[in-house]
Amino acid sequence: MPSLSHSLTRRQLISAATLSALGGAALAQSPATWPTRAVKFIVPFPPGGPVDTTARIATQKLGEIWGQPVVIDNRAGAGGVVGASAAAKEAADGYNFFVGSIHHSVNPWLMGKLPYDIEKDFVPVSFGAMFPIFLVAHPSVPANNVQELITLSKKGTVLSYGSSGNGGGTHLAGELFNMEAGTQLQHIPYKGSAPAMTDLLGGQIQLMFADAPSALQHIKSGRVKVLGVASKKRSSMLPNVPTIAESGGLTNYEAYSWAALFAPAKTPENVLKKLNVDFNTALSDPAVKQRLIDAGAEGDAGSSEDMRKRLQGELQKWKKVIETAGIKAG
């Protein structure tokens, strides 16, 4: 039978080890030392796309700031639902995050019941980047600005526009345009931006609401005409191109694709605050800004409250568009 002094020593050692473990966990979550190991970011799209590329650029800088590895976990499928569902189930321990996109504000209305709740299962950390959408036309279209296009459409000219897919950001940009301008542009969905752009270049369709990565090279080469950018402000990528709002007199028109950072609900608040600060630092780095622009994105972080309000606005806007246009998941 062990001696009393030996038993006390063992209890003391166990107690000390327990306190040490707890202290280590607390330390790992403290703003001063977090993170102490690899951090994972779930991206709900395949490698190589705009959201994935943006996430890799930003998180690479975060890894440099932290001195810790970052892992991009691509969980593609069902228009972002597979990745979001996986992210919602991850441990809220400060080492799992989610890179959401415009689909995060569209899927509740497009797909009905989801295996997660956007507002209950996620907390916004920060906006990340905007992908400008440009309204471009085949050179044969007899319109050189948005107002001329609206007039042409209202005179009865049948005009079709391509998009990257049914219910995607470029499709919704076109339907919002129809609502605001009173036009009846006909939507032609494609399986991605590349085949849509191919048909636009070939004259099979007349128009396209195209994201920057798809459109810029063809705008600069003159193979397509650019009529306007769909965001509220002019794009730094093409500052001489007017917005659709100013060129067409559509004061309420605004559309863009985006990427933003979310965390599983109940992630420690101090971790969220530090991540927001570090993420803003990463996106303000000149080299990161340029890499994002080269990838067709404009970095734009901000506070978690800004992102919460932005998400609410996106949810309300696209709910109206989807219901008015009768859009169903493709």
Q: Sketch out the chain's domains with CATH numbers.
A: 39-131+257-325 (3.40.190.150), 132-248 (3.40.190.10)
CA angle 186, 173, 241 (to 5 degrees): 105
Query: Could you report the per-residue pLDDT of 108-137, keeping only the tens digit for each?
Result: 999 989 999 999 999 999 999 999 999 999
Query: Could you report the per-residue pLDDT of 59-118, keeping only the tens digit for each?
Result: 999 999 999 999 999 999 999 999 999 999 999 999 999 999 999 999 999 998 999 999
Q: How confident is the model at residue 329 (pLDDT cuts 50, 70, 90)?
A: confident
Q: Residue 17 pLDDT more than 50?
A: no
Q: Give CA–CA dist 198/203, Å, rounded.
A: 9
Query: Could you report the per-residue pLDDT of 184-207, keeping only the tens digit for each?
Result: 999 999 998 999 999 999 999 999
Average pLDDT value for residue range 27-43: 80
Query: Could you report the per-residue pLDDT of 300-313, keeping only the tens digit for each?
Result: 999 999 999 999 99
* Average pLDDT value over all residues in the chain: 91
Tell me which amino acid residue 326 is: G
Average pLDDT value for residue range 248-277: 96
The pLDDT value given to residue 43: 98
Give the rounded percent of residues in the chain with a pLDDT score beyond 90.
87
3-state SS record for the chain: CCCHHHHHHHHHHHHHHHHHHHHHHHHHHCCCCCCCCCEEEEECCCCCCHHHHHHHHHHHHHHHHHCCCEEEEECCCHHHHHHHHHHHCCCCCCCEEEEEECHHHHHHHHCCCCCCCHHHHEEEEEEEEEEEEEEEECCCCCCCCHHHHHHHHHCCCCCEEEECCCCCHHHHHHHHHHHHHCCCCEEEECCCHHHHHHHHHHCCCCEEEEEHHHHHHHHHHCCCEEEEECCCCCCCCCCCCCEHHHHHCCCCCCCEEEEEEEEECCCCHHHHHHHHHHHHHHHHCHHHHHHHHHCCCEECCCCHHHHHHHHHHHHHHHHHHHHHHCCCCC
Q: Backbone phi, then psi, for 142, in 5-degree steps?
A: -80, 55
Q: Give CA–CA dist 86/38, Å, rounded.
A: 18
The pLDDT value given to residue 31: 57
The pLDDT value given to residue 4: 35
Closest to 261 in 3D by CA, of 248, 245, 278, 246: 278
